[in-house]
Each structure stands twice: as structure tokens, then as C-alpha cells.
A and B are shown apart, each in its own frame.
Chain A
């Protein structure tokens, strides 16, 4: 069965797996036993808003295509780090159809999870073990949080975390992205959304005056590769002193993480090489690499440093203009 609800209410009332762009689901549904009914959001109204509220808060409809968000000029001016993370993930042909919520709610790319041969042993497929832990985990976590050692796939989730972003869920309303993605200890899930719940929008609080941001992804090729490590940095620099800092990291744990020790180290410092080096080193505090992922710690340090340097080199971000100034982007691919 497949249904194409036209309203949010109808969508919520329909039983089955929600499908947005389908770019993640399509592949997963080819695995044995992962089919079932579909609720396709193709015709569902109310998922494509894009506007700044009076206080500068940005609301991005859940169904917005990733490409449109990454290339949006206003978003790039106000949230450059976010726009870079969004605009650089996957490939152009995927971003053109994949949605913001679909990205947040995609499931892990762990190669054991995705292998038909793994069967249902894997935690995330309803089993009771993690094949990667004792197996080949070259691209897995370096912050071992206990059970499953896969890394969370969502670059947008990682970016939202750096912005203390929120998601609007129907029913239930706003909740923080860290609530949505959980703390990484629930080995059987990649997020805490329950059946019947629907994400309707992603919400970013306004940036601060004097904010600089940058995104960096460590990969082995030039482009189009899942990150080994990815980092988004926000620095608020006032009168030459760092007043606030947020550093989020992806590719390191079953959930995106904040490097809070690094953040604390930066406060009150001048944005210089010494402060950045110390902060980058501190990003591995709390890490617990697996036998094959020790190298990722070095990538964490390098990527945080890289993102800090890039952020500092830039002009501060543009503060959002008040109320609805942002035009709705032409929905080329919707």
C-alpha cells in the first residue's frame, strides 16, 4: 500500500513508513524484510516553508530540497557554516531531490547494517550485537558510546547541533535536535522519533553579532565522499575576544557530538593560533577509539583546527533582516 496524503493531518493519520525524497529509504527497502506500507509526502502541503521570523529565527520546512537550502543566498550570508554543510553533502543529483528532514532521519550507513549477509544480528536491525565492533570498523566511531559503534550519517544533524537547532514535530511541537537524535546510547535507533510522529520543520535560532562560522569535512578524495570526520564551528568574536563558541563533530560517534571542552577553552581568548591549537587538541577529550579508528582522533584535531582557522579568516556573518524578508526560493525541484 502506498498513500499520498495532501495534508499534514492526513499524513499523520496514515499508517506506514514516511517517504520524502526517497533517496535513503529506497536503498534500505531493498534489504530483506524492510518493506511495508508507504506514506509518501509528495503531495503533502505545508512542508516547504522557508522564512525568518520577527526575532530572526529561521524555519525550514521538512520537505525542502537540500540543494535549495544550500544554495540560498540569505542562508549562506546568515549561516555560512550551515550552508556549507548542507550544500556540500552527498552529490548535486542527490541534493536536488533529498529533503532536510529525510537527511536528519536517515539511518546509519554502517556497512554491516547495510549488508544483507549481516541478517538480523545487528542492533539496528533488531538484533543484539554489533558486528562492526568485533569486525571491520575502519570508518566507525572513535567516541565509543557503548553498544553500536556506527557513526551517525546526518551532516545536517551535525550542523543543527552546532546551532542548538530545533525540530518541529507533529504532534508534540518543538524539540531540540539533540533530543531528536538522542545521546547515542540507544543502539537500536538513529533517532528518537516514534511511529506516527512527523517532522514538519527545522528551526535555527538567529546568529549572534560578531559570529563567524565554517564547516570542514575530512575525506580521502576531493569530493562526494562520506566524511571520515566533519566539523562545524561557530565563533562569536567581540573586540578581539571569543565570547561564545560552538563546535559540532560528525563521523565520530553514533550521534553528532559537541566538543564542549574545546568550546570552553576558547572563551575569553583571542582567536589566535595558540588558542585554536589548544581547543583542537581538546576536541578528543572523552574519546574512546576502537582498534581501527585511532587515526580519527588525529582527523578530529585537524578538522577542528581547520574549521576554526577558516571561521576566523572570514567576515562576521550577516544578521538576518527582520520579518519575512526572505523570499521563498523558487522551488525548482519540488
Chain B
């Protein structure tokens, strides 16, 4: 075997387990196939005559090829997407003779003699269909990955509806039924309702296509190219062999048979001579072949002998006496993946337990004394709350396409939230110069924190591309994505709270996090930040298990923290007979939340809520409220470049748009500064070669980019002014917000930009007035603010069947100035809905005693659908944050923190039972209400 590695050995694969040091019997590296190449012989191909988007076409397909695969691969129509591969998400929907069908399960042979319409065929002769205009105008999309499926389905529905009912608006139930086969992980459902109802009612029959979202048109037409759509000449397809066992030692690996399969090009050993398997799904070897089928066959032909051991899968199992150790040796612990976004602090280990981390406590002793007193007087509220692992489940899975244009330069198309950081890390890992690595991520099918770092898919594709000397594409299947794509760690939260005679709060709480083989997940910062004056004894404890590594997930730690704390606070208010808002107000110094009290008090459903358990009918309504608090971060090193020239005004930065609206925010900022239409601004992101931009995480995109963008625009205006003065010989010229005023009138900035010679300026994110709360760590600064939310949810519980439904929600947020009110609302709605989905439906389940994934598809891993969406009211308070340039705090995370607790409190209000365990499955609820 020839070792061809460079760089690869320098680290372990992020996301896979770090591995023990015992050597394998053979030394395994990478190997290139010497088997005969070329297409496999003898496989039967079937001729299929079909018409796609009005064009007669002949396809040659395999008997088991899906229609989706054939159309995407052979016709290069990549608009329709592979989301789940088993009929549950609808991303692959095409029309077959006008009827929408799921094409991921449809044999390609069934296209014979049929008319197929993909999303690319929905617009006719360059004119968008009314549904496309409707989705654009109503912002019925975020990342856009599910959008083609929704468009194809909705177009057929609107056509049918109009034929039967004319231009009348259907009710929400009708729309929910029609779109019941579609899932949107970003939860753009609100906008989708408005779009489909509006299109039916004829509101989008005429007029130009307008959108606030800058890249909406590309997304509704299928033109947006995601990483999974990238196709390079000679591209190979990679698959990995994932461990079926949760805990094992590898005795031997033999890939001879795999490498002998015609069409297989190369293989890479991901164990690096180590033998420990620490979680099911761990990538052991990866190989590349000329197509996916051969790659899958080859993976099946790799022979591995395991010494299978008992895994510790849950917090109780891992903490039990004599539990199998995940990291039996000190050295292994050092390589444990980091489940957080920050650096890991050194902490003590005891078996599978790491920590506790206590430094976020405040007046520990006082807190404990107060709790003891309260216990004595019977006024303490205490309990154990638990939360399930929530998979990120981005509809676009982790995906990478890597190629080496030369021996020492690398280009990786990557579905990532961090083009720049990934490029840097790839350069480090492969020993390349920073400017020799390019990471491209034009469109991203969402991230939610699960794509924030360099991970194994990029490394595998890169390594195989080098070994094989050809571009390599590696895309996780849905099953794999749900297994190793990331999840919000499950927690066990032991929390006790009390209010003393002076009405002051005290908290003693411990959080046990199960981030699998990863460590560093924290809950205590969130406990500390809300009601910061109260004495608190807080501990964060990692319990490592033989399960895949947890990752940061939108508001890491927050939903769990408030699930326990805000329910305990509600219970205290109830026990004391105090108004829950007034009681919280006493402890709440956060200026961002102050204006929200009045707003909440004005909500009838909250004001007029019944006493807990007052409703005695079968369907019981309840209303609950909870608070959330989040950090305000920025990346002080952010740069934004603004150029004028033949392409008009171009703004660029090495950031990316993951559906959050980065493009829109930049376009709007430039538009406002230069007095041009946002749609006339060209935005370039998703390329690591641009000036440094932030990672799209930690709600820092807007607060980093907009100030930098404004600085760049100011600089540009200066240059335009100088140029104008001289070139146009303006007399008495002064620069104003609108343009250059002179004796003869005013020349607007837009005009000057059009006529000036090409200019290029770079703006740097200015410091906050008064500096930061902490000096920047790892390129991120904590600003001297915390953002604030208030969430109210009304639920309905069917006591006969244990089903809980969110009926109505009110979200109030103090996050400063909104750069795009429509997109801010979409973000907020998406975050709230995702949190409701987490509370009511989502749960990863692993095979007990073994550790492999049971909820391995979107049928068993349940995401909220159209029909589960409550009526939503969203309120923003835009004042405050004076010391942040441009006054925008982020909002991607704050919106998702409080809904679980609000639902918990609503449950108590509805049925008099307080839920402790997430999710609120019917069996939990039945058990709870029956007592």
C-alpha cells in the first residue's frame, strides 16, 4: 500500500471521534485503485422516452435509478432537490403530466411516455408563474432548498384551485392539506401560507416580480446552485463506511475486494492506525468511485472485523458504576471534539464525567443558604428536567466537492456557515498557503450551527480528490446526516429555585449535557444571564457517551436552560400567588426587555388567561409565558468591500447566506447609504477569497457586516465626492446624505457611482462605543449588551389522545434596529417554529444497547409541517443598543430560546400538570394528565 498523504495525518477528523493510539495490524493510509477503470459492463440500461419541460428527451437509466437522479444527473436540471430520499420532505417534487409526485422514490423507468415538469419548467418563456412571484413577495423561503418542491406543488394546487373556485382565497387548512407532503426546516411556513393564499386569490397574477430577499428569484426558479448541485468534469463520488456499532475495537480492515471493483478509484483510511470505535456512524474508511452506486457497492465490500463492546449511550448509563469508558485514557480525552462555539476550558475528568464548570455562579454560598431556608419552609421549587437530542436536519445535508487545480492549490465547494474559517483550516491541515485554498459556498441549504466548522466531509472529499487525481463529491445521505450531521445535546437539568421574603430569587442548578463523544456544551451562561442579580450556584457537567458528537445548534444551551428555569419561575409565581410578569420584572435589569412588558400586558390572551386547570373539557387551552436572553456578538475583524465599475455597485465579503438573509442585509445597507435600489446592488458572498467576513453563527452577521458596510460606503462617498468635484468641476460642492450638492443642484450618489471611474473601498467594522464586554476571543467579541425576548404561547391539549397543538404565539424581541423588517420577521417566525417543533415533536432515538440510529429518516424524526403552524404575532422593539454602530443586535438565536418553556407553562395552565421531559409526545402527555 502506498501512502500518499500529506497533511491528513496532522489531526483527527473533526466530527468523527478522536481515536485511541493502539495500532492496527496493518498500517492503513490511502490507496489508489489499480483495477480496470471505465464503466461497469453488463448492467442493464433501460431506454426511457419522456418529455421534460416541454422537450422530448431520451434517457438511459438503470432499473433502480430514481426519476430524481436521472433528471438531475442526465439533464443537468438540478433545481429539484434530494432532501430525504424517502418520500417525506417533498424537496424532490416534480409534476408528472401535471400532477406533483415525489421523484426520489419514483423509478426513472416510470417517466416513459410521460410529461415531466421540474421547477425550471414552471416559468414559461422567461415569465415567472404567479406562485413564484408570490413566494418572492411574501418571503415564503429562507435557505431555499425546499423551495423548488414547494413551488412545483403550489403551482399545481393554484391551477387546480383556480379552475374549481376562481380567484378566491383558500383557508389555511386547505393549503396545509395540499402542501402536507412538504417540509421546510427553516420553517418559512408563514410566508408560504401567504404566498399560496395570495396566488390563489389572484394577488400575484400581474405585475413585476418583487422581493425583499435579494436572492429570492434564483431560489424560486431553481437557478440557485447549492453544493449538492456542483458538477465538475471527471467528478468522482465518495461514500464512507460508518460503524454500525456504538463501541468497538477494530481488529482488521480489508478493502482489497472493494478496490478491485471496476469504477472504484481510491480509498482513504480514516482511522489513521487507531482502532477505537466510539460511536455508531463513525466514519472508518471512505472511497471514491465513478458513480454513487458503485461507491455504495464498494463500501459494502470492505471487510471489517470488530471486537464489539457494550456502549454507554445515555447520561444514566454513562454515569453508572462500572460504565464502559468512552475515553479510557487521558490522551483520548484531549482529542474529544468541541461541542461549543467557544474554546474549551481545562476541566477535570472522572470516568465519563467532565467538570463541573462552576465559574458562572454568583454568590454561591448565599444561593445555597437561601435554598436551604426555602426547603425548610417548603417554598422551594425543584425538579429534574430533561431534553432530547435535536438533530439539525438541514434539508441540504453536509456536502463537499473538492478538487486540486494544481498540486498545491485546492478548491472546495462546501455547504458551510464559514467559508473563510474553513479555508484557513483546510490550508493548515493540508499544509498549503492560505491563498492557495478557496472555499466556495454560493447557496447553502441552511446550517443552524451544524455547519459552522471544518468537518469530515470536506476532509474526506479533499483527501480522496488528491489520492484519485480527480474532483470528488461527498454528500451525506439523510440517514447519515441524522446520525453524524449534528444535534443539540440532550440534557438533564437538576434545578432548584426559591424566592425569599424580600421577593428575591435564588437558584441552585446543575446541567448534565450529553454531547456524545464531544464536550464543552454549556447551559450555565444562559442561567446566569437572565435575572443576573440573583445569587446562583451553577454547574455545567459533560457526560460523554458512545454517541456521535453534539454540535452548536441555534442558541446553544438556551432552549434547555430556559425549559427548566422559566418553568421553575412560573411555578414560584404560581405558588406565591404573584403575577408572573411583575415578579420577573423585579429581577430584570435588561434595558432591551423593559419596553416589552407593556406589550405583553396588552395581549388579551395573556391578560385573560384562566386559572391553571380551569378548563375541564376534552380540548383544553392554556397560555404560557417565558423569557429568553442571548449574547450580542460581533466579529471585529469583519471587512466589507464596495466597488463601482462596469458591473455597477458590487458589495462583497467572505461571509455566506445560509438563508438568514446576508445578501439582503448587505444590499439594503448599500442601498440606504447610496440611495440606490437594493435590487441594483450586486452582492457577492460565499467565497473565501473576498475580504474577511464573519462565520454565520452566534447571531453576529448583521452586527458585524452592517457597520463595516456603512464605513465602506462612507469611504466610497468620499472618493466619489473628490472625483466629482474635479471631474465635473462642481462649484460649492458639499457631500450630503443624498449626494453632492453644488450651486447648480444636486448629483445623487447613484449617479456619481455610475459615472465615476472604477473605485474600490474596504470598510472595517468599527469598535463599539466604550469597547467590548470582553476582549475578542477567537475573532468574536461579546458586546456590552444582552438581547431580550418574551414569548407567549397558547396551546390546546386533546386530553383524549394526548395531542398538543400550538394555537397562537406572540413573540416580543428587543434586538435593536432591523435592517430588513420582512426578513427579520421571517427569521423570528422560523426560530419560534423550530423551537415549537423541538418541544412537541423532535427526538433522536438510538438503538438501546447498540447505539445506532433508529429515527433515521424524516418519517421517524419528526419535523413540524405546514399544518402544525400556529397563528403568529411578532413584535420588535427597535430602540436601544446605542453603543453598537448602526444599533443592530442579532436575532437568529434569541427568537428560539423561550418557546419551549412558554409551552411548558402553557401546559400547566391548560391541564394543571407541569411537563419535565421533552418532547411532549402524546404518551408523555397522557401519562402527565392522568397523574
Residues on A lying within 8 angstroms of B by beta carbon are 1-2, 4, 19, 21-24, 26-27, 29, 32, 35, 38, 40, 42, 67, 90-94, 96-97, 109, 111-112, 114-117, 119, 131, 134-136, 138-139, 218-226, 228, 295, 298-299, 302-303, 305-306, 332-333
CA distance A194 to B847 in the complex (A): 32
Interface string of B36-79 (1 = CB under 8 A from A): 00000000101000000000000000011010000000000000
Picked from B98, B181, B244, B862, the residue with its CB within 8 Å of the CB of A220 is B862
- Are A97 and B176 neighbours in the complex by a CB distance under 8 Å? no
- Are A221 and B98 neighbours in the complex by a CB distance under 8 Å? no
If A93-B153, A111-B855, A135-B848 touch, whether A117 touches B244 (CB-CB below 8 Å) is yes
B882 at the A interface (CB under 8 A): no
B223 at the A interface (CB under 8 A): no
Residues of A within 8 A of B177 (CB): 223
Shortest beta-carbon distance, B274 to chain A, in Å? Answer: 21
Residues of A within 8 A of B99 (CB): 67, 96, 332-333
Of all A-B residue pairs in the complex, the 9 with the closest CB atoms, nearest first, are A91-B181, A222-B867, A295-B923, A117-B244, A2-B63, A117-B852, A93-B102, A223-B180, A111-B854
Picked from B105, B245, B848, the residue with its CB within 8 Å of the CB of A27 is B105
If A91-B88, A295-B802 touch, whether A226 touches B102 (CB-CB below 8 Å) is no
Shortest beta-carbon distance, B65 to chain A, in Å? Answer: 10
- Are A96 and B852 neighbours in the complex by a CB distance under 8 Å? no
- Are B867 and A223 neighbours in the complex by a CB distance under 8 Å? yes
- Are A32 and B300 neighbours in the complex by a CB distance under 8 Å? yes
- Are A117 and B280 neighbours in the complex by a CB distance under 8 Å? yes
- Are B801 and A93 neighbours in the complex by a CB distance under 8 Å? no
Shortest beta-carbon distance, A320 to chain B, in Å? Answer: 26
| B858 nearest CB neighbor, chain A only | A224
- Are B63 and A38 neighbours in the complex by a CB distance under 8 Å? yes
Shortest beta-carbon distance, B712 to chain A, in Å? Answer: 46
- Are A221 and B852 neighbours in the complex by a CB distance under 8 Å? no
If A23-B106, A303-B801 touch, whether A221 touches B864 (CB-CB below 8 Å) is yes
CA distance A303 to B244 in the complex (A): 38
Q: Which of B89-97, B536-544, B656-664 is the contact stretch?
A: B89-97
Shortest beta-carbon distance, A40 to chain B, in Å? Answer: 6
CA distance A1 to B180 in the complex (A): 36
- Are B854 and A26 neighbours in the complex by a CB distance under 8 Å? no
Extra contacts, 20 of them, besides A222-B180, A295-B926 (Cβ < 8 A), are: A1-B44, A22-B105, A23-B102, A26-B64, A38-B63, A91-B88, A91-B90, A93-B87, A96-B96, A97-B102, A109-B859, A111-B856, A115-B847, A117-B852, A135-B850, A139-B860, A222-B805, A295-B922, A299-B802, A332-B99
Picked from B66, B856, B922, the residue with its CB within 8 Å of the CB of A218 is B922
- Are A131 and B153 neighbours in the complex by a CB distance under 8 Å? no
Shortest beta-carbon distance, B390 to chain A, in Å? Answer: 15
CA distance A38 to B109 in the complex (A): 12
Interface string of B612-656 (1 = CB under 8 A from A): 000000000000000000000000000000000000000000000
Residues of B within 8 A of A298 (CB): 802, 926
CA distance A42 to B63 in the complex (A): 12
- Are A94 and B87 neighbours in the complex by a CB distance under 8 Å? yes
- Are B105 and A305 neighbours in the complex by a CB distance under 8 Å? no
> Within residues 676 to 714 of chain B, which ones have a CB less than 8 A from any CB in chain A?
none
CA distance A332 to B921 in the complex (A): 38
- Are B856 and A224 neighbours in the complex by a CB distance under 8 Å? no
Shortest beta-carbon distance, A42 to chain B, in Å? Answer: 6
- Are A93 and B862 neighbours in the complex by a CB distance under 8 Å? no
| B66 nearest CB neighbor, chain A only | A26
B327 at the A interface (CB under 8 A): no
Identify the interface centre among B106, B112, B856, B866: most chain A CB within 10 Å of its CB: B106
Picked from B105, B922, B926, the residue with its CB within 8 Å of the CB of A23 is B105
B330 at the A interface (CB under 8 A): no
CA distance A220 to B852 in the complex (A): 24
Shortest beta-carbon distance, B858 to chain A, in Å? Answer: 10
Picked from B97, B852, B853, the residue with its CB within 8 Å of the CB of A333 is B97
- Are A222 and B865 neighbours in the complex by a CB distance under 8 Å? yes
B849 at the A interface (CB under 8 A): yes
List, sorted by A's number, 27 A–B pairs whose CB atoms are closer than 8 Å: A2-B44, A2-B46, A22-B106, A22-B107, A26-B66, A27-B85, A90-B181, A91-B90, A91-B102, A94-B105, A97-B101, A97-B106, A111-B854, A111-B855, A115-B847, A115-B852, A115-B854, A117-B244, A135-B850, A218-B801, A222-B805, A222-B867, A223-B176, A224-B180, A224-B865, A298-B926, A299-B801
- Are B801 and A302 neighbours in the complex by a CB distance under 8 Å? yes
CA distance A286 to B451 in the complex (A): 50
B256 at the A interface (CB under 8 A): no
Interface size on B, residues (CB 8 A): 68
Residues of B within 8 A of A303 (CB): 801
Shortest beta-carbon distance, B718 to chain A, in Å? Answer: 56
CA distance A26 to B847 in the complex (A): 24
CA distance A299 to B675 in the complex (A): 61
B2 at the A interface (CB under 8 A): no
B868 at the A interface (CB under 8 A): yes
Residues of A within 8 A of B112 (CB): 42
B334 at the A interface (CB under 8 A): no
- Are B90 and A93 neighbours in the complex by a CB distance under 8 Å? yes
- Are A333 and B801 neighbours in the complex by a CB distance under 8 Å? no
B727 at the A interface (CB under 8 A): no
Picked from A1, A136, A333, the residue with its CB within 8 Å of the CB of B101 is A333
If A22-B110, A91-B87 touch, whether A136 touches B181 (CB-CB below 8 Å) is no
- Are B865 and A221 neighbours in the complex by a CB distance under 8 Å? yes
Identify the interface centre among A27, A139, A223: most chain B CB within 10 Å of its CB: A223
Picked from B46, B800, B853, B865, the residue with its CB within 8 Å of the CB of A305 is B800
B845 at the A interface (CB under 8 A): yes
- Are A332 and B98 neighbours in the complex by a CB distance under 8 Å? yes
| B181 nearest CB neighbor, chain A only | A91
B841 at the A interface (CB under 8 A): yes
- Are A27 and B86 neighbours in the complex by a CB distance under 8 Å? yes
Identify the interface centre among B178, B180, B860: most chain A CB within 10 Å of its CB: B180
CA distance A94 to B101 in the complex (A): 6
> Within residues 110 to 127 of chain B, which ones have a CB less than 8 A from any CB in chain A?
110, 112
B598 at the A interface (CB under 8 A): no
B100 at the A interface (CB under 8 A): yes
| A109 nearest CB neighbor, chain B only | B859
CA distance A219 to B801 in the complex (A): 9
Residues of B within 8 A of A295 (CB): 802, 922-923, 926-927
Identify the interface centre among B105, B244, B841: most chain A CB within 10 Å of its CB: B105
CA distance A232 to B846 in the complex (A): 33
CA distance A218 to B805 in the complex (A): 13
Residues of A within 8 A of B867 (CB): 221-224
- Are A112 and B847 neighbours in the complex by a CB distance under 8 Å? yes
- Are B180 and A92 neighbours in the complex by a CB distance under 8 Å? yes
If A38-B63, A222-B176 touch, whether A115 touches B300 (CB-CB below 8 Å) is no
- Are A115 and B180 neighbours in the complex by a CB distance under 8 Å? no
Picked from A112, A135, A228, A299, the residue with its CB within 8 Å of the CB of B849 is A135
CA distance A138 to B843 in the complex (A): 12
If A226-B859, A303-B801 touch, whether A136 touches B848 (CB-CB below 8 Å) is yes
CA distance A287 to B471 in the complex (A): 57
CA distance A43 to B867 in the complex (A): 37
Identify the interface centre among A92, A218, A222: most chain B CB within 10 Å of its CB: A92
Residues of A within 8 A of B66 (CB): 26
Picked from B93, B97, B868, the residue with its CB within 8 Å of the CB of A93 is B93
CA distance A206 to B112 in the complex (A): 37
Interface string of B381-421 (1 = CB under 8 A from A): 00000000000000000000000000000000000000000
Identify the interface centre among B93, B99, B846, B868: most chain A CB within 10 Å of its CB: B99
Residues of B within 8 A of A21 (CB): 106, 110
Residues of B within 8 A of A93 (CB): 87, 90, 93, 100-102, 153, 181
Residues of B within 8 A of A117 (CB): 244-245, 280, 847, 850, 852
Residues of A within 8 A of B270 (CB): none
- Are A135 and B847 neighbours in the complex by a CB distance under 8 Å? yes
If A23-B106, A112-B854 touch, whether A224 touches B181 (CB-CB below 8 Å) is yes
